[in-house]
Amino acid sequence: MRVLRAVEMNRCIGCLSCMITCAAVNQQDHSILKSAIRIKTSGGLTGKFIGIVCQGCKDDVPCAEVCPSGALVRRQAGGVLLDKDKCVGCERCVTACTVDAIHFDTDIKKPIVCKHCGVCARFCPHGCLQLIEEVQ
């Protein structure tokens, strides 16, 4: 199993193709707000782009730890998968994530969690985002 990493953000051109395709493929939505990853600017466009992506925590997984209903299931390579049926929409995972990589979908009242599918990396024109095989 592989995990998503923002490895070369210095090369990012800010096209947001990653967010557009993540939202489309994973949430069937045209809005970048539905993307599990976020590209932000630091200090406007003259600054660098920052990729806010799930860090694929492995041993200590803050979001899963605070989940009261067991809806966040640990992935073997790191990170979590969301079991929507179990989720109660309490948003604790959103605040627990140190890097702010979990977003809350206000339409369906569930978190948007990266599942490390790599569609964003596939549409990244500069290889800033990559799916990487984690060595066990």
Catalog residues that contact other proteins under the rule CB under 8 A: 13-17, 20-21, 24-25, 28-34, 38-41, 44-46, 107, 123, 125-126
CB of 36 to other proteins, least distance (A): 14
Taking the least distance from each CB to other proteins, the nearer of 45 and 135 is 45
Tokens (6 digits) for 94? 């959103």
Taking the least distance from each CB to other proteins, the nearer of 47 and 70 is 47
d(CA 8, CA 129): 7
Taking the least distance from each CB to other proteins, the nearer of 40 and 86 is 40
CB of 95 to other proteins, least distance (A): 16
CB of 49 to other proteins, least distance (A): 8
CB of 14 to other proteins, least distance (A): 5
Residues 6+ apart with CB under 8 A from 32: 16, 19, 20, 23
Distances (CA, A) of 39 to 6, 35, 83, 90: 10, 10, 25, 25
Nearest Cα to 8, choosing from 115, 97, 126, 112? 126
